[in-house]
Structure 1
Amino acid sequence: MGSMAPSFSSPPQRATFKGLLFDMDGTIIDSTDAVVKHWHTIGKEIGIDPNVILETSHGRRSIDTLKALGQDHLANWEYIKHMEELLPQNYGDDAIEIPGARDLLDAIKSANIPWAIVTSGTSPLVGGWLDVLKLPIPENLVVAEDVENGKPDPSCYLMGLGKLGFTVKDAGDVLVLEDSPAGKFCSGKAAGCKVLGLVTSHTVEQVVKAKPDWIVKDLRSIRVTAAHSDGGVELEILDALKVD
């Protein structure tokens, strides 16, 4: 993209999908400040520089982060779920919703459109954040402890497809909404889904390099324009990035 300023000015586009799979942090909520405080606390407890943890923890399951740091004795679901349960309890005031998230989720839920959250967080973490921020709760959820391998492995999104009642053959008609180029976009694409990338946690250049199908600043650019009788949805994508 050179030195040119990014242009989020593409004409409105419409696309139809059978269902939607949302990442959580950076896509529905921004808990960056809370996560930084959380890992500083954990880092002090386990004797590891919190900045070292934060360099690799974004978008990654805590269990994988601890394994990578050589903390195998802590890399178990009992400890991870307890640790993550405390995050929204202790730092709930430090998280906010991604602009447009509430309106989009409300519209999806009102229209009975198939959707799920597919996240690297555990069930206590996801439930805690949705409760703190009073955001719509999905009927279907794929969390860290559900899969053997976290993102960028596609198994989480393949499981998400299954929970919505779809097969791999339907993947091309399902939209993944993600914020992290490092692995997450790859995870959605590897599952065969279309991917919409949000520029909420990474630079435009990093998101462009990962080549999602659409790039927008946040969820204010996504509108439900029609809900179909078969459960599908037509979305309008506004102000997407123009990529030469």
Structure 2
Amino acid sequence: MPHHEENNFSAPPAVEEFAALLFDMDGTIIDSTPAIVKYWMAMGKEIGVPGETILETSHGRRSIDVLGLLAPQLATWEYVCKAEGQIPVNYGNDATEVPGSRSLLEKLEAAGAPWAIVTSGTKPLVTGWLDVMKLAHPKYLVTAEEVKKGKPDPACYRLGAKRIGFNDGSGKVQGEPEDGKKADPSQFLVLEDAPAGVMAGKAAGYKVVALATTHAIPKLIEAGADWVVRDMRSVTLQQWDAKAGNIIIEIKDALVA
């Protein structure tokens, strides 16, 4: 993870209310960078493209979109799901938790607060990592193969909100009903590490906490993050008010603008 000695993470704590939390996976809940590097290096050999070239633009993007540009013949969901499903199997020891992520997910789950994972990975990849890392499985999950366009398109996060049961006023998402509890877009909190994901959350009108775990802070700021923090230890559940439908979150030690 990046070093942050030159950055000032000392903003006063902010207490905010949200209707639901929407998490990215890699770089946000876990850091599987070494595993993904090995995956793309091996893929590069298979398709005849230097792995280093792929890694320059692959983080936060769907494999099918990367392959669509570099090896269109392999850009099928059958191939991608099979390939990604082997990553936790082959490289299970090459991932670590993002500090604070396990605690936050366990507290949300224990409280019964609504949360989802919205990721550029496929379902076999995500569930594989959750199993290997023994992390809480969300009741609601949006994966790469379920949306036509990946991040920075906001459709994935809007689908996450609708899947939980909310209508954020953005209109119907393919495959999901229009009805649902009404909620203003600003009532959803996205937790991301990649500029493309930050842009997706902001394009949906949601609030975004960016974790400076994988990308340069100026890029996260440029993407529009509302808060930038070092890792998930800065985001804590204060209370879940089931009657009011409010998740009260404290965000501490954020970057001072």
Identity %: 52
Aligned residue number for residue 173 of structure 2: none
Mind listing any 5+ residue stretches in structure 1 that lack a counterpart? none
Matched to 1:97, the amino acid is E
Whichever residue aligns with residue 31 of structure 1, its letter is S
2:239 paired residue among 218, 222, 226: 226
* 1:8 and 2:21 aligned: no
Cα distance in 2 for partners of 1:120, 1:225 equals 29
CA contact (8 A) 1:6 1:204 kept: no
Amino acid at match of 1:213: D
Matches within 5 A, 1:92-131: 92-131=92-131
Which secondary structure does the structure 2 equivalent of 1:7 belong to?
A: coil
Aligned to 2:172: none
Contact 1:114 1:232 in 2 (8 A): no
**Take 1:17 and 1:168, find their aligned partners in 2: how far apart are those partners?**
12
2:178 aligned residue: none
State the SS of the aligned residue for 1:128. Answer: helix
TM-superposition CA deviations, 1:180-222 (whole Å, max 9, x none): 11x2111001111111111000122222222211111000011
What's 2:186 paired with?
A: 172
Does the 8 Å CA contact 1:198/1:216 hold for their aligned counterparts? yes
Within 5 A, what are the aligned runs for 1:1-244?
Answer: 5-69=6-70, 71-169=71-169, 170=183, 171-181=185-195, 183-230=196-243, 231-243=245-257
Name the CA distance, whole Å, in 1 between partners of 2:7 and 2:50: 35
Three-state SS of the structure 1 residue aligned to 2:22 is: strand
| Cα RMSD, aligned residues only | 1.1
Q: Once the 2 structures are TM-superposed, how far is the Cα of residue 39 of structure 1 from its aligned partner?
A: 0.9
Note the alpha carbon deviations across 1:11-45, whole angstroms, 9 max, x for none.
11100101000000010010000000111111112
Whether the aligned pair in 1 keeps the contact of 2:44 and 2:51 (CA below 8 Å) is yes
- The 8 Å contact of residues 225 and 234 in structure 1, kept in 2 or not, is answered as yes
Tell me how far apart the structure 2 counterparts of residues 45 and 115 of structure 1 sit (CA, whole Å).
Answer: 37
Any idea what the Cα deviations from partners look like across 1:93-131, whole Å, max 9, x if unmatched? 000110000000011001101000000000000010000
Residues of 1 paired with 2:188 and 2:38: CA distance? 35
Distance in 2 (CA, whole Å) between partners of 1:154 and 1:74 is: 25
Q: Could you report, residue by residue, the CA deviation over 1:210-241 in whole angstroms, capped at 9, with x for unpaired residues?
A: 22111110000111111102332101111011
SS in 2 for 1:73: helix
Report the secondary structure of 2:82's partner residue: helix
Name the SS for the 2:150 alignment partner: coil
TM-score (norm 1): 0.95
TM-score between the two structures when normalised by the length of structure 2:
0.90
SS of equivalent to 1:5: coil
How far apart in 1 are the matches of 2:147 and 2:222? 27
Q: Find the aligned partners of 2:191 and 2:163 in 1 and give their Cα distance.
A: 17
| Distance (whole Å) between structure 1 residues aligned to residue 72 and residue 7 of structure 2 | 43
Give the whole-Å Cα distance in 2 for the aligned partners of 1:56 and 1:82. 22
Partners of 2:191 and 2:89 in 1: how far apart?
26
Give 1:141 deviation, angstroms: 0.2
